[in-house]
A = this chain, B = another copy of it.
Amino acid sequence: MGVHPTYAGDRVQVLDTTLRDGAQGASVSFTLKDKIAIALKLDELGVDYIEGGWPYSNPKDYEFFRSIKEYGLRAKVAAFGSTRRKGVRPDKDENLNSIVKADVQAAVIFGKSWTLHVREVLGTTWEENLAMISESVEYLKSHGMEVVYDAEHFFQGYQEDPEMALASIEAAWRAGASVIALADTNGGTPPSEIYRIVQEVKRRFPAMPLGAHMHNDIGCAVANTLMAVAAGARHVQGTINGIGERTGNADLTAVLPTLELKMGFKVLREEPPQIKFGRLREVSRLVYEVLNVQPNPYQPYVGDFAFAHKGGVHADAVMKVPRAYEHIDPELVGNRRVIVVSEMAGGASLALRLSELGISAEKRDPRLKAALEEIKRLEREGYSFDVGPASAELIVLKHLGLYREMFKLKEWRVITGPTSASYAVVKVAIGGIDYVEGAEGVGPVHAVDMALRKALAKAFPDLQRVALRDYKVILPTLVKNTESVVRVTVEFSDGSRVWRTVGVSTNVVEASVKALADGLDYYLQVASLAVAKI
């Protein structure tokens, strides 16, 4: 792996701030239940600190601090806030007292390192700023809390006035802060500058325990965190999936495995690494689910495409010598290798996907080539089998003669309007006999789904196991209006396996019905192939 020998075995502390700084992200909002679910998952993962909220700015956070106590987390729970206001005694400061009132093990407070902020935002002097820092740390410590000090805008402050910036962190350290986290608050510092400045701070204060709090405004939050550690920091702050204000914070799902698997540090509590990183994708998915946000498929380590191979030659080679094309074994982080079916895919990729269904096909088989032609033609019409591979597999099964027609949705009609009730009727052929069924639904797609399942229930009782897990619609074309074709993708699960289908039409209901019918059909085809093998 080329692990740098100097670092081997050094422990790096992890402070997760998904629930606090992450909550500053646009379109991020957590309920109490969400926060508890995430905190429990972070505790399982083995982080050292869970920063749970900012009680002064959001009094709802007290509920979280109160409720989380019952769970006896192994991680330390931390409350966030600022140093005292200018000219106010610490014991009279509402902000500091809100942290005390949170009654947690650790406080994370931020103070000013940048002259611009001291003068123009706070409107005070450097002397008062230093007093605000040291008195705030002392006050919280006197209440028995550990204090993590976040030096806001440290790098810009240091670039403009290094001595003042250093004086501010020295004040926090002398007052007893356990870590001095250097923050690139507006996220604009390049990694080479982070490295230079952290090294200089380390030279000036060799015994000061340093940390890193990085934002992603120039796309370097993860790397800046790593460079700060390379320069001597041993505490990192970040969020799951990098959520946070503007472009977000350092994504811990990338920072943590890189520190341990690539750089030789130790992070997270002492479980074997294959267990702790093995939960990374699960943790990432939980946060996306809670936020109702589509996961980023291109996300390092945990994204759907992180180990996706496209193009025949490459997909072929990765099977032979994985290490030649993959930077780690995907399973180490709970992810998996994916062979992408698309118009660039060759017969080799299709053959590989089929092998996952237990079907062996020769990659030069002309029937595969014909299937590929059909796939390419449909992609030109707006389909994308990257997002609905099960629909592509149905096409391939048909070309290979392995498809058994279980049912055929011959007709359907829906009436809908501005109430929740919609009415559908379907005509389905099963084994040569037509069945007509009608149903009511809370929308047109639900109504057709209900009618279709009603028609299929007797012949295929197992279909009741199949549930829809996600549904999305976009306009795949450039010229967009209400006449455009829409592309619907649906994700299904039977409790163990997950599959995704795609449907395209100018009619959003028709595209949905196509993807739904493909999803039910796929389940029946896979079951039938499994039987055929026995």
Residues A480 and B486 in contact, CB atoms below 8 Å apart: no
Pick from B247, B324, B328: contact of A300, CB below 8 A.
Answer: B247
Q: Which residues of B contact A384 (CB under 8 A)?
A: 27
CA distance A483 to B422 in the complex (A): 11
Q: A445 on the interface (CB 8 Å rule)?
A: yes
The one of B246, B313, B417, B482 in contact with A446, judged by C-beta atoms closer than 8 angstroms, is B482
Minimum C-beta distance from A17 to chain B (A): 15
A111 within 8 Å of B by Cβ? no
CB-CB contacts below 8 Å: A212-229 with B: 216-220, 222-224, 226-227
A508: contacting residue among B263, B412, B469, B473, CB under 8 A: B473
Task: Give the residues in chain B near A327, CB-CB below 8 Å.
Answer: 186-188, 217-218
Instruction: Decide if A475 is an interface residue (CB 8 Å cutoff).
Output: yes
CB distance from A24 to the nearest CB of B (A): 6
A31-46 vs B: 1/0 string, CB under 8 Å? 0000000000000000
Partner of A27, one of B24, B294, B387, B505: B387
Contact yes or no, A326 B296, CB < 8 A: no
Judged by a CB distance under 8 angstroms, whether A67 is at the interface is: no
* Copies of the chain in the assembly: 2
Of A97-105, A336-344, A354-362, the one contacting chain B is A336-344
Tell me which of A113-121, A139-147, A174-182, A455-463 binds B: A113-121
Q: Contacts A26-B310, A467-B481 given: A416-B414 contact, CB under 8 Å?
A: yes
Residues of B within 8 Å of A289, CB to CB, are: 478
User: Are A507's CB and B443's CB within 8 A?
Assistant: yes
Give the Cβ gap from A443 to chain B, nearest Cβ, in Å: 3
Docked Cα-Cα span, A418 to B425, in Å, equals 12
Q: Is A510 at the interface (CB under 8 A from chain B)?
A: yes
Q: How far is the CA of A387 from the CA of B293 in the complex (A)?
A: 12
Task: Of the listed stretches A191-199, A203-211, A266-274, name the one at the interface; the rest are far from the partner chain.
Answer: A191-199
Assuming A29-B342, A326-B186, A482-B443, is B247 touching A303 (CB within 8 A)?
Answer: yes
Question: Is A278 engaged at the interface, CB distance under 8 Å to the other chain?
Answer: no
Say if the beta carbon of A306 comes within 8 Å of chain B: yes
- How many chain A residues touch B (CB < 8 A): the figure is 135
How far is it, in angstroms, between the C-alpha of A296 and the C-alpha of B325 when the chains are bound? 27
Given known A-B contacts A343-B29, A420-B506, A486 and B443 have beta carbons under 8 A apart: yes
State whether A116 and B442 are in contact (beta carbons under 8 Å apart), knowing that A2-B160, A220-B222, A507-B420 are contacts in the complex: no
Contact assessment for B411 and A476 in the assembled complex, using a CB-CB cutoff below 8 Å:
no
Q: Is A449 an interface residue (CB 8 A)?
A: yes
Please, which residues of chain B bring their CB within 8 A of the CB of A192?
A: 4, 195, 226-227, 230, 263
Q: Is the CB of B468 within 8 A of A444?
A: no
Contact among B193, B314, B418, B480 for A470, CB-based, below 8 A: B480
Those 3 A-B pairs whose CB atoms lie nearest each other, nearest first: A188-B327, A223-B223, A2-B159
Chain A residues engaging chain B, CB cutoff 8 angstroms: 1-2, 4, 23-27, 29, 57, 114, 116-117, 120-121, 153, 155-156, 159-160, 186-193, 195-196, 216-220, 222-224, 226-227, 230, 242, 245-248, 251, 254, 257-258, 262-263, 289-290, 292, 294, 296-301, 303, 305-311, 313-314, 317, 320-321, 323-328, 340, 342-344, 379, 384, 386-387, 409, 411-418, 420, 422, 441-446, 449-450, 467-478, 480-484, 486, 505-510, 512-513, 516
